[in-house]
Structure 1
Amino acid sequence: MAVEHGKEVGIQEIPRADKWLLFSLQHLFAMFGATVLVPFLVDLSPATALLTSGLGTLAYLLVTKGQIPAYLGSSFAFIIPIQSAQMIDGTEGAMVGAFLAGVVYGIVALFIKAVGVNWLMKILPPIVVGPVIMVIGLSLAGSAVNQAMYLPGSEDYSVSYLMTALVTLGITIVATMFFRGFFGLVPILFGLIGGYTFAYFQGLVDTSGIAAAGWFTVPEMIVPFVTYTPSFSWSIAFIMVPVAVVTLSEHIGQQMVISKVAGRNFIKKPGLHRSILGDGVATVIAAGLGGPPNTTYGENIGVMTITRVFSVFVIGGAAVLAITFSFIGKISALISSIPSPVMGGVSILLFGIIASSGLRMLIDNNINIGEKRNLIISSVILVLGIGGAFVQVSESVQIPGMAVAAIVGIFLHLILPNKEHSYGASDMFTDMTTDVSGRSSK
């Protein structure tokens, strides 16, 4: 299904109608597997995740004035915080926490608008951002392995589950390694399809829900003041809000990658404050409808890298398609019927890829881990984050491990000598952190 074309399609260009549809479908399929995986893991509606993903992306494009071609999907950084918040105050409490995190994005965006971006770049260099992204992936490793080995809700080991997970993982790896063009960009989708087929013949798939579902169904939404009355909780706030430090790090990394791929400095124009605000608005929309918080997706950046199609109209088209899919009941029922070992199989690779992308940031910026300060910062972030360290503020309030790791990493970067080593020797970070007057933020 890869679309061939002879030239680059610019950010503001509108492709011919037939190509427009195919380009948008490519982006839809690229984000689909990962976007529906997050709600599957945190017991939210996959259809609602598709809906909020599409709405969030459209909001992002509006906030960034149609200048950044980025698709937003479900954020993996919020999986563990949402699960923790659900144990305290249910899914409704988790949505309130996600809303508060989105508000923090807005506050940071306004502050950047007022005083500039250099202060943020100073406290979030590659040596902090890279390991924090690694923590996002590696802290989820236990969840992937548990899904691959144990029956849902128990510690009963299952050989059939493990075999299904390994087959799913194997198909995903083959698709990643040997498929070319567009097909090479959607290995998660191939893994889900192949694993689902294998699981079906193992008797692990219940298709009764698919037959019973209607073609048109309104997604299951959790709307404040309609389906529940929101209430503020310090416990939820301290679980969810500090994760904004983690996602801001992730956001900056993604903006650098998008800028590099498209040949534009989006941190300067339309500005990091607009892209952060766009993420915040998308997260607030998701929280208001019962979907997981959103973030820009590397899978869709990969699509743009291969096709050289940077049109925001194509991204907008993918968002409209996602919204449309969310109202097709058969699709929602099909997603819900995917067995947990299939999700576990693709998660093993997907969570590892997230971790590896953090490692790649260190490599791309030529960070010297042999330098003592870099070795200390990265080591502390990784152990605190993956080890699950947390700060107990009160009997019912704690700051989770990912946020603690990011905050401690920032603190170490600010107090240890020889800061210049934390920015590396690559021109990429230097270009991103130099203001219009040509002065470096370092």
Structure 2
Amino acid sequence: MKNENIVLDVQEVPKLSKWWLFSLQHLFAMFGSTILVPYLTDLSQAVALISSGLGTLAYLLITRGQIPAYLGSSFAFITPITSAMLIGGTGGVMIGSFFAGIVYGILAICIKMFGTKWIIKVLPPVVVGPVIIVIGLGLAPTAVDMAMNVNNEYSGIHFSTAIVTLLITVIGSLMFKGFFGLIPILIGIIGGYLYGLIITMITGVKVLDASGVSAAWSEIISSESLTELLSSIFVMPDFVIPFVTYNPIELFNWSFLFIMVPVAIVTVAEHIGDQMVLSKIAGRNFLEKPGLHRSILGDGVATIIASLVGGPPNTTYGENIGVLAITRVFSVFVIAGAAVLAIMFGFVGIITELIASIPRPVMGGVSILLFGIIASSGLRMLIDNQIDLGNKRNLIISSVILVIGIGGAYIEIPIKNAENLHIAGMALSAIIGLLLNLILPGKDSGYGNGQLFESSEDNK
């Protein structure tokens, strides 16, 4: 019997008149965060939208249309992407992302064969919590730099734009109800964009450059034929495709794997948390049916797809779970519709120009809040699991992870006839944290109350 609180069940098809509206809600919910990741890592925002749509469709197929989850750009990979970019450019990032997706697949096979209990032993809260804190605090300098500096010099006007954006986002998070309470990031970006436009007109200081948007619009309205109109509306994004735009065999470096792959440790924990929360909301056990192995495999395939077109790695999004909780619309057809819209938007030139024109301090303003939330959710994981930091073992593991990760420590291992192997920052802190957890006695204290995945739905 259908639950009366459910507007549309998982495999119900909505009426066409409401379908696109429901799908648009999900697209708006993930939009702000998804475009922020490529913005910070010099990847294409248009490709990020397309890869999130393709990844979501693949996820729905792999999970047999039984889990209404949307996938978007993962915040956990921001620092590793930046590090890999310095070593091997965009191609190096895609190689690392590809193998991170492979790791998901291996984990999915292990879960299918051995169940899920072993994951908690591999991913104790005393390791995962501090690593999540490292993700947020490690990005803090980037957020502040975007908010207040222009060409490495302080700008009060730009900083005011960031502050206004931050305030709008905070007010939206606290005051707005219903669906609008789920898109404070998008509302903050829009508000900051308008403020940047006004302040540019008043002061003459170029906070916002909308020349690309104006050029795209002029091209559309000046079209004299249907062919010209279509070519001015739809634009081919800057895809990064192996053996087309780069040669992965020639570019391969083991550093890419050691920088990117360890992040899967964190994102798998986040994924399981999202699945548990989603199961509670929908009144089903998605970890049993269609199975955690299928949902993790779906995440992995989505990340592999992204790596083949030039997008950032994908993961399930807490914002979209929030949309499900409020609207009670669980239809996977609605999720699929959002994915199709994301793909379409990625090919629309004026939309990509509009995204590209978002001022740097606007992104800095929302980043201050988002990166702080990421760090705080890591702290929340430690608190929710009642990890005793009075215990010397827990204190040592968390302390070492925090200082190595935030301090930017790295090691280089010379390799004969090849570039040095580079392991840095968050990846290094995660590896050392796992090793310490395996070596030091008293492992039970690192598990706390065993609720590891209950508090990770706020993370990307």
TM-score norm. by structure 1 comes to 0.89
SS at match of 1:398: strand
Provide, for residues 246-289 of structure 1, a one-character-per-residue CA deviation record: whole Å limited to 9, x for no partner: 32233333333333333333333322221221111111111111
Q: Is the 2:50–2:346 Cα contact (8 Å) retained in structure 1?
A: yes
- In the alignment, the residues of structure 1 paired with residue 384 and residue 328 of structure 2 have an alpha-carbon distance, to the nearest angstrom, of 21
Aligned runs of 1:120-135 on 2, under 5 Å?
Answer: 120-135=119-134
Matched with 1:156 is 153
1:218 to 2:236 alignment: yes
TM-fit CA distance, 1:139: 1.3
Measured at CA, do residues 427 and 124 of structure 1 come closer, stay the same or move farther in structure 2, by a change above 3 Å?
Answer: closer
Q: Is the 2:34–2:72 Cα contact (8 Å) retained in structure 1?
A: yes
Matched with 2:58 is 59
Matched with 1:402 is 426
Aligned runs of 1:20-419 on 2, under 5 Å?
Answer: 20-151=19-150, 154-203=151-200, 204-213=207-216, 214-231=232-249, 232-394=252-414, 396-419=420-443
Provide, for residues 44-91 of structure 1, a one-character-per-residue CA deviation record: whole Å limited to 9, x for no partner: 111110000000011111111222221111111111121122222211
SS at match of 1:67: coil
- In the alignment, the residues of structure 2 paired with residue 249 and residue 313 of structure 1 have an alpha-carbon distance, to the nearest angstrom, of 27
- In the alignment, the residues of structure 2 paired with residue 13 and residue 309 of structure 1 have an alpha-carbon distance, to the nearest angstrom, of 9
Letter in 2 for 1:17: L
TM-fit CA distance, 1:20: 2.7
Q: Is the 2:95–2:307 Cα contact (8 Å) retained in structure 1?
A: yes
Provide, for residues 413-435 of structure 1, a one-character-per-residue CA deviation record: whole Å limited to 9, x for no partner: 334444444333366869xxxxx
Measured at CA, do residues 13 and 418 of structure 1 come closer, stay the same or move farther in structure 2, by a change above 3 Å?
Answer: farther
- In the alignment, the residues of structure 2 paired with residue 305 and residue 366 of structure 1 have an alpha-carbon distance, to the nearest angstrom, of 27
- In the alignment, the residues of structure 2 paired with residue 429 and residue 209 of structure 1 have an alpha-carbon distance, to the nearest angstrom, of 44
Q: Is the 1:68–1:266 Cα contact (8 Å) retained in structure 2?
A: yes
Measured at CA, do residues 282 and 403 of structure 1 come closer, stay the same or move farther in structure 2, by a change above 3 Å?
Answer: same
Matched with 1:424 is 448
Q: Is the 2:104–2:297 Cα contact (8 Å) retained in structure 1?
A: yes
- Which of the pair has more CA radius of gyration? 2
Aligned-residue RMSD, C-alpha:
2.2
Letter in 2 for 1:306: I
- In the alignment, the residues of structure 2 paired with residue 160 and residue 185 of structure 1 have an alpha-carbon distance, to the nearest angstrom, of 29
TM-fit CA distance, 1:297: 1.0
Letter in 2 for 1:159: G
- In the alignment, the residues of structure 1 paired with residue 353 and residue 413 of structure 2 have an alpha-carbon distance, to the nearest angstrom, of 41
SS at match of 1:265: coil
- In the alignment, the residues of structure 2 paired with residue 318 and residue 370 of structure 1 have an alpha-carbon distance, to the nearest angstrom, of 47
Matched with 1:438 is none
SS at match of 1:202: helix
Aligned length: 424
Mark the runs of 5 or more structure 1 residues left unpaired by the alignment.
431-442
- In the alignment, the residues of structure 2 paired with residue 360 and residue 222 of structure 1 have an alpha-carbon distance, to the nearest angstrom, of 37
- In the alignment, the residues of structure 2 paired with residue 202 and residue 60 of structure 1 have an alpha-carbon distance, to the nearest angstrom, of 43
TM-fit CA distance, 1:364: 3.7
Letter in 2 for 1:144: A
TM-fit CA distance, 1:218: 2.0
Measured at CA, do residues 44 and 15 of structure 1 come closer, stay the same or move farther in structure 2, by a change above 3 Å?
Answer: same
Measured at CA, do residues 216 and 125 of structure 1 come closer, stay the same or move farther in structure 2, by a change above 3 Å?
Answer: same
Letter in 1 for 2:208: V
- In the alignment, the residues of structure 2 paired with residue 142 and residue 278 of structure 1 have an alpha-carbon distance, to the nearest angstrom, of 33
Measured at CA, do residues 384 and 269 of structure 1 come closer, stay the same or move farther in structure 2, by a change above 3 Å?
Answer: farther
Letter in 1 for 2:368: I
- In the alignment, the residues of structure 1 paired with residue 292 and residue 400 of structure 2 have an alpha-carbon distance, to the nearest angstrom, of 28
TM-score norm. by structure 2 comes to 0.86
Measured at CA, do residues 131 and 55 of structure 1 come closer, stay the same or move farther in structure 2, by a change above 3 Å?
Answer: same
Measured at CA, do residues 410 and 234 of structure 1 come closer, stay the same or move farther in structure 2, by a change above 3 Å?
Answer: closer
Mark the runs of 5 or more structure 2 residues left unpaired by the alignment.
201-206, 217-231, 455-460
Q: Is the 1:133–1:250 Cα contact (8 Å) retained in structure 2?
A: no
